[in-house]
Amino acid sequence: MNDTVSIQRQEAVLTVTITRESRRNALNEDVAAGIAQALDQAEGDHSIRAVVLTGAGDKAFCAGGDLQPNAEGTPFTIDAADPDHYVARLFRRMNATRVPLIARVNGHALAGGFGLVCGCDLVVARDDAMIGVTETRVGLFPMMILPFLMRNTPNRLLMEMCLTGDPITAAEGLKHDLVNYAVPADELDAKTDWLVQRVTTRSPTGIRLGKQALSRIREMSFDAALEYAPFMLANMARTEDAREGFAAFQQKRDVNWTGR
């Protein structure tokens, strides 16, 4: 693992931490590669049931692309010979990940950092953390993260954030469903653990197949989705987890998920 991202495993949970605290955990190519590597690890191990993404320290979750003159791996350039931008690769990887992704927003999440937040399935944030897109303040527009922004942000709020470049607090974002929970800093870990525990005690197979289906259904027409869904549901019903879930319900006992 590179030195811009650390990965720690505790039982069924991988915690992925961006460790560029001196750069406000800014996003660069090494950070993107480190997060993607962690997601590959989670996908390859069916005993991992959730990934928590966070930043080092208490100032920033991720401040977006590094604007410093000596920044390494800046996201603001592209190789004409290889136009598959690393941020796009990371977002594709996040979108395809079948393991639940939970953002622990320990500080400000701006520009590309807010894109990372929007790319996660669930979000627990400090209530005073600033979230949003600030690109128009430096002559840009949040191009790379627009697909995730459009998925998570009401249109009027999206336009106001994009056009003004003014962030809002996570507490304000809670009103618009941009985060699931906004809590005081001293409650962040407890609230994150509480949410993770709720997710990791559910069927890992049901969640993985369900996230896979959800990703595809988002891109389908209504009729195509209704044709696809019954096949996925029937496939899920044949899994060991589904058979165990049915049996536990009928026998009124605790369920023992196998992840298969």
Per-residue tens of pLDDT for the chain, all 260 residues: 579 999 999 999 999 999 999 999 999 999 999 999 999 999 999 899 999 999 999 999 999 987 664 555 556 566 655 667 889 999 999 999 999 999 999 999 999 999 999 999 999 999 999 999 999 999 999 999 999 999 999 999 999 999 999 999 999 999 999 999 999 999 999 999 999 999 999 999 999 999 999 999 999 999 999 999 999 999 999 999 999 999 999 999 999 998 88
Provide CB contacts within 8 A for 257, sequence distance 6+.
202, 203, 204, 205, 241, 244
- Positive or negative: CA dihedral 68, 70, 71, 74: positive
**Domains of the chain listed by start with CATH number:** 5-200 (3.90.226.10), 204-251 (1.10.12)
The Cα–Cα gap between 37 and 2 comes to 10
* Residue 127 near residue 170 (C-beta atoms within 8 A): yes
Q: What span, in angstroms and rounded, lies between the C-alpha atoms of 53 and 117?
A: 9
Please, which residues have CB within 8 angstroms of residue 215's CB and are 6 or more apart in sequence?
95, 96
The number of helix segments (H) and strand segments (E) in the chain equals 10, 10
Whether residue 39 contacts residue 90, with contact meaning beta carbons closer than 8 Å, is answered with no
